[in-house]
Structure 1
Amino acid sequence: MNIKRSIRIAIENRKKDGVPVVENVPIRLQVFFGGKRIDFTTGYRIDAAKWDSAKQRVKNNVTNKQKQSALQINTDIARYEAYINEIFQDFEGKGTEPTPEQVKEAFAEKLNPTPQKKQKSQATRGKAKKSDLFVVFDEFVKECGVQNDWTESTYEKFAAVKNHLTAFKKGLTFEFFDQYGLNEYVSYLRDTRGMRNSTIGKQMGFLKWFLKWSFKKGHTKNNAYDMFKPKLKSTPKKVIYLTWEELEQLRDYEIPPTKQYLERVRDVFLFLCFTGLRYSDVFNLRRSDVKENHIEITTVKTADSLIIELNNHSRAILDKYKDVAFEHYKVLPVITNQKMNDYLKELAELAGIDEPVRETYYKGNERIDVVSPKYALLGTHAGRRTFICNALSLDISPQVVMKWTGHSDYKAMKPYIDIADKVKANAMDKFNKL
């Protein structure tokens, strides 16, 4: 049985002496089903200017007259909505439609359980195995790090996860992370930490990995994470790369005498653009890896063994530095990734790589569009993307490109294939101008 229903959260439409009241207005929850309407009070008030009627939530980073934060109010609103849906799901399971009075009684019970239910709940919690969440987290990182051979960057990601959890709430426990606690954490990441939805999705993925491991190890009996799937609007990540014309523009740019340090940066970046290697693999490239017509490497990130043929462009860069002795028998003058990213932006700006690029992302339901010049978005990984996009645009088959790059999943190549198809379609359109 499926009971059709809708839930509406709104501030009261009040008037005083014929004038709308806009300050300290009560927030109401309304439920509509079967031609009936039930009104609930949330216990919160807010100024009309601080209420987002489209999102049916308090606007981010504000407080009401009682100094209650948007995070606190919105978290409770989400909890109340979850209560309502649980109540209807219970009646659906019984095959009956509730009366408004039954819904009100069930909701009141959710908010304030009877003493018998409280005692039962406390007894159940008392029997559960208690583990210090952060002690277990350290065990998780240690065990999974060794088993999965984590890279330094993966350890850093989980250190950040721990920092977020520590800052989120004191005395955090496994029991806290039921669906309401998980929703509260999502709200915290969005409203307090200011994260985009895509970043929140990654953070929740890391947290669920930890909670799943803890459940399997018997540290907790709470597996609410398994059914928790928050709706986080997101858009595909923008693929930042250089077209063939931009690549030539960058290569042919005459670097000023006062900025000759940019020449080596350009050479290393061009090598990435003509081989498809990651920065980490070029950083570790040794003379013993370079053969007559190809290079042989075992990638740092995935431990794939790759053979990548040299073309005239990549070979010319290797020849330029073949007589230069670098530390540890390195092939190219590769500096730190951070410095190279900074210098690359500087170089691209000087070379006029300034096409406007629009990036779209979401924070909650808020769509945010940011337009930046392409040079401001360039990093070392753009070299690998440039290689893939241009190779596909030259009609080199995806299967061949995947052998060079080490991609094993065709799905990972799809964004690049879509770009190549657009490039070829635009190229064909040039005939229409003849």
Structure 2
Amino acid sequence: MKVLNLKNKIWNSHNHAQFLLDKEKDSPTGKIRFRIKWDKNIVAFGVGYRAEFAKWSIETQRCKTNSTHGIKKISASVINKKISDYEAACERVFNSFYYEKKNPDQKSVRDRFNLEIGKKVEKEIEPEKTLFEIFDLFVLEESRINLWTNTTSAKMKTFRKHLKTFDSKLNFENIGEKKLLQYQYFLQDKLQLQNSTTLKNFSFLQWFLKWATRKGFNSNMTFQNFRPKLKTVQKKIIFLTQAELKHVKEFKIPATKKYLDRVTDVFLFQCFTGLRYSDVENLKRSDISENFIEIISVKTSDSLVIELNDHSKAILNKYKDSQFENHKALPVISNQRMNEYLRELMELAKIDEPVRETYYKGNQRYDEVFPRYALMSSHAGRRTFICNALSLGIPPQVVMKWTGHSDYSAMKPYIDIADQTKINAMEKFNLL
């Protein structure tokens, strides 16, 4: 049975994990035992249920579907769920050793496995580690399991810096309500962070503490009930209207600014496909068919099929004979440089309507006005696609299939914009 998916020396074809039934004389049932073998080591754990031999599948190592077992007639679904939980716990245990670059012994595997399934052990795993050393283990494991982008890794690095600046001797035991409030005031008053950024720091802290609790490093649960009450406002969605999109598409770039040509093409491709910057950057020629592109999203790992329209086809055809690094389909530069050039492009194209940005630091409200080009980024291309698709009357469910949004609530801000666009369009009849 394949339980683990590791590419290291800890787990190989000679090692295995399996569920067995312990035979007892004249008994139609047996205790389910989980046996793990690696190198010359063996550990076993009782699953806590008995199964009837006649209703047990040796091949799948599960109770047969719709069967019941023992005097209490425990259903197969209950028992099989516990078996799956044990498998998942086993994989997390051996992955943790892999990420820590350690060879496990029987005691450490037994202790970590018991922690994973919720049983107490006599001694916490390596209690001598500091909170920040444990945080580094958290980053190492979670970044590999969840395939963090460079942006997420950078945010976590900044979060760690803030936490250590706040209290370099911070430990799990002293993270009580008082300490959490002090951290909130540190972020607000000392670092002068906006409330939205302060709340993001607390979400990172909760993520880390939940992981540390699950791994047995932390037993202080105060953080679960701490909710900073901070005012925030919905950040404005910066996008191009249909008229502005047409204007940018037809805009003649000055001869001295020809380096903006390719940036314009990549941005327009986002506006007509809804792709994130990371997915445009990763787009290969092999992802392109005659009438659609098919990709695995870099950020979410979703499989997306996006039909091509005349505009997106024209951009791809423009570069079909060009050769780019790693067989890329389009001339994508770094996101930072693209954002800089994009703002320059939008300023030249007179996309300069004043936009008021409102935010809070603590209870203090701040209002700042910027020309819209100054707020432009590559993500505005994806937002332009969504807003214009909805304003054209394309159903949200269809747009979500193109963009990969799985949560309808994530589309609501865009739907509100589309509704307002329709209202403004209707008001034009008043001018007749």
Is structure 2 residue 244 aligned with structure 1 residue 253?
Answer: no
Note if contact 1:296-1:307 (Cα within 8 Å) is conserved in structure 2. Answer: yes
Partner of residue 184 from structure 1, selected from 178, 182, 190 = 182
Deviation string, structure 1 residues 270-298 (Cα, Å, up to 9, x no partner): 00000000111111111111111111111
1:157-201 deviation line (CA, Å, top 9, x unaligned): 211111111111231222221111001001111111111000100
Letter in 2 for 1:141: V
Matches within 5 A, 1:303-318: 303-318=301-316
Percent of matched pairs sharing the same residue: 60
- Structure 2 residue aligned with 1:267, among 265, 272, 280? 265
Of residues 130, 133, 157 in structure 1, which corresponds to 2:131?
Answer: 133
Q: TM-score, normalised by structure 2?
A: 0.69
Preserved CA contact (<8 Å) 1:131 1:220: no
| Residue of structure 2 in register with 1:204 after alignment | 202
- Aligned match of 1:384 in 382, 385, 395? 382
Give the Cα separation in 2 of the matches to 1:135 and 1:329: 40
Measure the CA separation in 1 of the matches of 2:219 and 2:335: 43
What is the alpha-carbon distance in structure 2 between the residues aligned to residue 147 and residue 328 of structure 1?
25
Q: 1:177 to 1:130 in 2, by over 3 A?
A: farther
CA distance in 1, matches of 2:201, 2:277: 25
Shift, 1:130, TM fit: 6.6
* Corresponding residue of 2:361: 363
User: Match of 1:88?
Assistant: none
Q: 1:195 aligns to what?
A: 193
In 1, the alpha carbon distance for the partners of 2:261 and 2:302 equals 30
In structure 2, C-alpha distance between the alignment counterparts of 1:306 and 1:239, rounded to whole Å? 23
Read off the aligned partner of 1:401 and give its amino acid letter: V
Provide, for residues 12-61 of structure 1, a one-character-per-residue CA deviation record: whole Å limited to 9, x for no partner.
xxxxxxxxxxxxxxxxxxxxxxxxxxxxxxxxxxxxxxxxxxxxxxxxxx
Which residue of 422, 426, 429 corresponds with 2:427? 429
- The 5 A counterparts of 1:137-152 are 137-152=135-150
Where 1:213 maps in the other structure, the secondary structure is helix
Structure 1 unaligned segments of length 5 or more: list them: 1-126
Letter in 2 for 1:396: I
Q: Which residue of 1 aligns with 2:26?
A: none
- Counterpart amino acid of residue 430 in structure 2: N
Report the residue type matching 2:162 in the other structure.
Answer: H
Pick from 291, 294, 302 the counterpart of residue 293 of structure 1. Answer: 291
Unmatched segments (≥5 aa) in structure 2: 1-122
Distance in 2 between the 1:367 and 1:138 partners? 36
Give 3-state SS (helix, strand or coil) of 2:393's partner. Answer: coil
- Taking the aligned partners of 2:252 and 2:208, their CA distance within structure 1 comes to 51
SS in 1 for 2:401: helix
Q: Distance in 2 between matches of 1:304 and 1:221?
A: 35
Shift of 1:155: 2.0
> Once the two structures are superposed, what CA deviation does each residue of 1:206-260 show, in whole Å capped at 9, x if it has no partner?
0011112222323232111011011010011111101111111211221111110
Query: SS at 2:383's partner residue?
Result: helix
Q: How many angstroms apart in 2 are the aligned matches of 1:148 and 1:354?
A: 39
- The SS at the match of 1:375 is helix
Alpha-carbon deviation of 1:308? 0.7
Equivalent position of 2:97 in the other structure: none
Q: Distance in 1 between matches of 2:371 and 2:325?
A: 36
Match of 2:395 in 1: 397
Letter matched to residue 137 of structure 2 = E
Q: Secondary structure at the match of 1:175?
A: helix
Is 1:418 the counterpart of 2:416 in the alignment?
yes
Counterpart of 1:373? 371
What is the alpha-carbon distance in structure 1 between the residues aligned to residue 169 and residue 328 of structure 2? 49
Partner deviation per Cα, 1:322-349 (whole Å, 9 max, x = no partner): 1112222211111111000000000100
SS state of the match for residue 175, structure 2? Answer: coil
Task: Tell me: CA distance 1:343–1:131, structure 2 relative to 1, closer, same or farther (3 Å).
Answer: same
What is the match of residue 28 of structure 1? Answer: none
Look up the match of 1:3.
none
1:331 corresponds to which of 323, 329, 332: 329
Aligned amino acid, residue 290 of structure 1? I
* Alpha-carbon distance between aligned partners in 1 of 2:345 and 2:149, rounded to the nearest angstrom: 30
- The alpha-carbon deviation at position 316 of structure 1 amounts to 0.9
- 2:173 counterpart SS class: coil
- The worse-fitting range, judged by mean Cα deviation, of 409-418 and 314-323 is 314-323
Partner residue in 1 for 2:342: 344
Tell me the amino acid that sits aligned with residue 430 of structure 1. K
Q: Classify the secondary structure of the residue corresponding to 1:202.
A: helix
Match of 2:173 in 1: 175
* Structure-2 separation of matches of 1:385 and 1:337: 16
Which stretch of structure 1 is more off in the superposition, 213-222 or 241-250? 213-222
Look up the equivalent residue of 2:250 and give its one-letter code.
D
Residue 360 of structure 2 aligns to a residue whose secondary structure is strand
Kept in 2: contact 1:281–1:299 (CA 8 A): yes
Amino acid at match of 2:289: K
Aligned equivalent of 1:153: 151
Question: Are the aligned partners of 1:131 and 1:219 in contact in 2 as well (CA < 8 Å)?
Answer: no
Q: Distance in 2 between matches of 1:358 and 1:252?
A: 28
Structure 2 distance, partners of 1:145, 1:325, is 32
Alignment of 1:42-121 (within 5 A): none
TM-score, length-scaled by structure 1: 0.69
Deviations 1:72-93 (A, max 9, x none): xxxxxxxxxxxxxxxxxxxxxx
